[in-house]
Amino acid sequence: MSPRVIPERVPADLFGKRESDRTTKVLDAVATARLRWATLVNRRDLTTRVDDRRIALVVTERRVEAHDQDVVSLRLEAPGGRELPPWRPGAHLDLELPSGRLRQYSLCGDPADIRAYRVAVRRIPEGGGGSVEVHDELPVGSRLVVRGPRNAFPFAVPGYGSPSVHLHFVAGGIGITPILPMARLAVRLGLDWSMVYVGRSRDTIPFLDEVESFGDRVTVRTDDEHGLPDAAALLPGVTTGTAVYCCGPVPMTDTVAAAVRHLRGVELHSERFSPPPVVDGKPFEIEFASTGQVIEVPADESALATILKYRPDQPYSCRQGFCRTCKVRVLSGTPEHRESVLTEDQHAAGEMLACVSRCDGGRLVLDL
């Protein structure tokens, strides 16, 4: 399935004909100065400009997707119902919330629906406020800006981007969101596939009716009925020639990854919604160059997690050291790089991924 290219349409004169009166000239000079300033402080790598597009959308529908009401889905449409940029299974959106927070949510609708996006959000009271804000402050009719779509969990279709002949999906709780579009596309293409969907109880797992509509290809396991699943329960019948797509909590993804390491000819594609634990970390300090404020990063917490307590609008996405959304610039201090995606030249230029990299004691001065 190839993405459809939608050309940008920009009027020949974006601002229209200018009047020649003195007030307009003053306002024009102020606007020009502000635009130049914004260009300087928001300059980005040209390779990411498509992913960073900002789209104004409206919440046109809200639904409770888990019976315990801890998960709601939002249908987002453009004013006037115009077509939206296309996306592929595994993609996500960055939502600019009214508070200024920037949060990422997987697209869980149908890529064939070119006039709406759908995301689902689980309420996490201790998770920094983003999910609570979505639940409590985005009723139908709310307007917000999104960035993307972007894809850090791409779906390689067998016969097109993968040598595998069978697909097996493993989803845990809200981890079903990026898996749903993949399963829907597998049905549409007539592929051979199966799924195991796990959660605490049937009341807590979202989109249960939608998942069970796929029929006997899907096995639903809940902890209260079947106990905690082991690798055999998560990967039934997985043999050579299978591509496994896994998304969910860290213990589940770790169990699947450990088992797949010993299976020959099995691909593993995974995404988890929780950051990896900090290993052998030391406490250090971060100074914000713009204000001089100094914050302390604990030994068991990432630099990003600490930054977000003071700068909740700081961009981030995967929190695992590969998408580069949380990249910051170090003006002073020696960072301890714990990723493999930035080049030596980028490290030399002071670039660091705040989600996984840190400092071996001392202080980092960051340009945010």
pTM exceeds 0.85: no
177 SS3 class: helix
pLDDT at position 316: 77
pLDDT at position 312: 80
The residues of the chain scoring below 70 in pLDDT are 1-52, 126-128, 273-274, 317
Sign, Cα dihedral of 141, 142, 148, 151: negative
CB 140 within 8 A of CB 74: no
pLDDT at position 273: 65
pLDDT at position 128: 58
Q: ∠182-188-190 over CA atoms, to 5°?
A: 100
CA dist 67 → 73, 152, 207, 208 (Å): 13, 30, 10, 10
- Per residue in 295-338, pLDDT (tens digit) is 999 999 999 999 988 988 788 767 788 778 889 999 999 999 99
pLDDT at position 246: 96
Q: How many residues comprise the chain?
A: 368
Q: Where do the domains of the chain lie, and which CATH numbers do they carry?
A: 54-150 (2.40.30.10), 166-271 (3.40.50.80), 284-366 (3.10.20.30)
DSSP 86-113: ---TTEEEEEE-TTS-EEEEEB-S-TT-
- Per residue in 76-134, pLDDT (tens digit) is 999 999 999 999 999 999 899 988 887 889 999 999 999 999 999 999 886 557 889 99
pLDDT at position 8: 33
